Structure 1
Amino acid sequence: MGSRRSNELSPHEIDIATEPIELETLSYDESVRKFIADAERRGLRPDTISYYKDKLGLFRRWLVAQDMTDYIRRVLRTDVDKYIDYLREDRGLSNGAINTSIRAIRALFGYLYDSKYIRNNPMKGYPLLKVRKGNIETFTMKQLRQLLNAPDRRTFIGVRDYTYMLLLLETGIRLSESAEILVEDVKLSEGVVFIRHTKNHFHRYVPIQAKMKEQLKRYLKIRGTCESNHLFVTLDGEALQRGALQKIVSKYGKQAGIKGVRCSPHTLRHTFAKLSVMNGAGVFELQKILGHSTMEMVRVYVNLYSSDVNEKHKEFSPLRDL
């Protein structure tokens, strides 16, 4: 007859007794479902949730090819290394593009570990790849004139699209922000537009000047009353969706024959920042208007486009008195 075991459990046995049953059996798909459900409960933006679904879906395809989707605990740090090598070498993605996948995978495993679905977090402290800061694409003044002259302003669509592109250039707002502007958000008498759908959940007002106010006034008269309260609408009076708004700049860029720069809402945002800095905007004003939560991107704009250094260099150039 063997010796009687102790009734007291060891620390390791206590871990086994109290850990969630899913710890050993949770699949990759179940893990992602739990992660997305948690993101929705926390009220993350639909764009953010779509981003997680997209990047984690791409990772899933790779895991399926490795026959590794059955248990989430099987995914190790070395597997993530191999996936990143695959993205770089087989898919030819840039470090910046790969970093978007790393962030999503990091968020998934961080959630699983914090929720005690896994014992070890293979992504703990996983570094992002180094991204060389290159030049930021912007439109030249000539290209801006070509772009803004392209819409046929004898049509409703032409007036709407011209107003839309002018607003992006005037305010530097994001595509996702522009898609959610309502008619009531346009405060012509105050010279501001209220931005309700922001990346960091902090609502803000962006200023508009005389030319923009006049154009919005014209557009609103032509727009009239519709079923939708959204500022930008279709011929049927329905809200113009983000996908359709995204294509506007590209459409007129092609029409105007603009080459050598990506014609997109984000390029207009960069162009707004560039011209604002060149015209003397300070970092704090720019940060507030652009809605950046940190100064990092604003400093990039200032370093690239500030003319102060050039002007000062005229005064202290070593060749000045030669």
Structure 2
Amino acid sequence: MGRRGKLSDDEAQIIKKKITDDQAYEVFFKACYLRNLRPATIEYYKNEFKAAKKVINKQLVDWEQGDLEEFIFNSKQFLKVTSINTRLRALRSFYNYLIKYKFIQNNPMSNIKLLRDRQKVIETLSDRDIEKLIKVIRKKQSFVSFRDEVIMLVFLDTGVRLSELVGIEIQDVLENSIIIRNTKNSFERTVYLSELTVEQLRRYIKIRGLVDTKKLFINQDNGELKPHSIQTRFTKYGKDAEITKRVSPHTFRHTMARRMIVAGIDAFSLMAILGHQDIAITKKYVNLWGTDIERKHKQFGALKGLRL
């Protein structure tokens, strides 16, 4: 038999140069750096890829649709739907990049969809909850407790994310606003403060004094305040105040959104304030708490009380 015909599939596979996971990671993460993605986003990709390979012990570049289906099936035994979807989003970005630049021939994610998840109720804090928290915090009468009171006011006034708050520097604080630079989508934005927050922030900055770090919020040793420390402290304040809901920076963000929607803010303005990339997220809030707007309209409608 001669050698005039086409190569067999096995022979073609021998000739074809295949990319390894390490090579794929190199080009993918280089692209991430060139796109100036946040370090946290890049770290997220790395963690998710590593975790995925623990479930299916096989190079990611060799995964097929069946591997992803098995990955989802196995992951459901120990992960929540939201966590599985988070991992699938990372894998989708990875495979889309490899397909786009022809590092792989087939995209195993092409027929894989995110898992459907039940829409959970978004918890927010009531006026009474907020008042109880402030009371508990003010009992301490220390630098740390006053700092935490100011942090809580900034959260409730602006709806900033935890990562955004710890990134605020002294120079970012203006007269009645703060420039948020460490944003999720890399677009700086300005958030505005109420008179109460402005006044308390002014007092905090005076007490803070001059220290080595440029960060606005510092720890008791005059060093940079870490996100985990803030989360831990507010969890404890919530327990001390006997609040059954989760007390966290994200709860404050949801609470701020709800209060502004009830007050009548439009979706586009709220989107800008919260720094959402997709208005669909903001509209979800509006739809969720829209009944509150109806109630407020009945209570405070412009024609209420008129004898027409």
Q: TM-score range by the shorter chain?
A: 0.7 to 0.9
Structure 1, unaligned runs of 5 or more: 316-322
Paired residues for 1:148-227 under 5 Å? 148-151=134-137, 152=139, 154-188=141-175, 191-227=176-212
Structure 2, unaligned runs of 5 or more: 302-308
Superposed CA offset, 1:188-239 (max 9, x none): 2xx1110001111111001111001001011001001110110001122211
Aligned match of 1:81 = 69
TM-score scaled by length of structure 2: 0.87
Alpha-carbon distance between aligned partners in 1 of 2:2 and 2:25, rounded to the nearest angstrom: 46
1:53 aligns to 2:46 (yes or no): yes
Paired residues for 1:63-82 under 5 Å? 63-64=56-57, 68-69=58-59, 72-82=60-70
1:142 aligns to 2:128 (yes or no): yes
- Report the residue type matching 2:257 in the other structure: A
Alpha-carbon distance between aligned partners in 2 of 1:183 and 1:79, rounded to the nearest angstrom: 50
Alpha-carbon distance between aligned partners in 2 of 1:311 and 1:231, rounded to the nearest angstrom: 37
How many residues get paired? 295
Comparing 276-285 with 211-220, greater Cα deviation is found at: 276-285
- Report the residue type matching 1:150 in the other structure: V
Superposed CA offset, 1:151-198 (max 9, x none): 24521111111111111011000111111000111112xx11100011
- Which of residues 228, 244, 247 is equivalent to 1:263? 247
- Report the residue type matching 1:41 in the other structure: L
Give the superposition deviation at 1:299.
1.2
Give the superposition deviation at 1:263.
1.6
Alpha-carbon distance between aligned partners in 1 of 2:173 and 2:49, rounded to the nearest angstrom: 38
Superposed CA offset, 1:28-77 (max 9, x none): 4553354334323322111211221222121011122xxx23xx443111
Tell me, yes or no, if the aligned pair for 2:24 and 2:61 is still in contact at 8 Å. Answer: no
Aligned match of 2:305 = none
**1:197 alignment partner, SS class:** coil
Alpha-carbon distance between aligned partners in 2 of 1:177 and 1:207, rounded to the nearest angstrom: 14
- Which of residues 257, 261, 275 is equivalent to 1:291? 275
Tell me, yes or no, if the aligned pair for 1:148 and 1:166 is still in contact at 8 Å. Answer: no
Percent of aligned pairs sharing the same letter: 34
- Report the residue type matching 2:62 in the other structure: R
TM-score scaled by length of structure 1: 0.83
Alpha-carbon distance between aligned partners in 1 of 2:15 and 2:101, rounded to the nearest angstrom: 13
Tell me, yes or no, if the aligned pair for 2:65 and 2:111 is still in contact at 8 Å. Answer: no
RMSD of equivalent CA atoms: 2.7
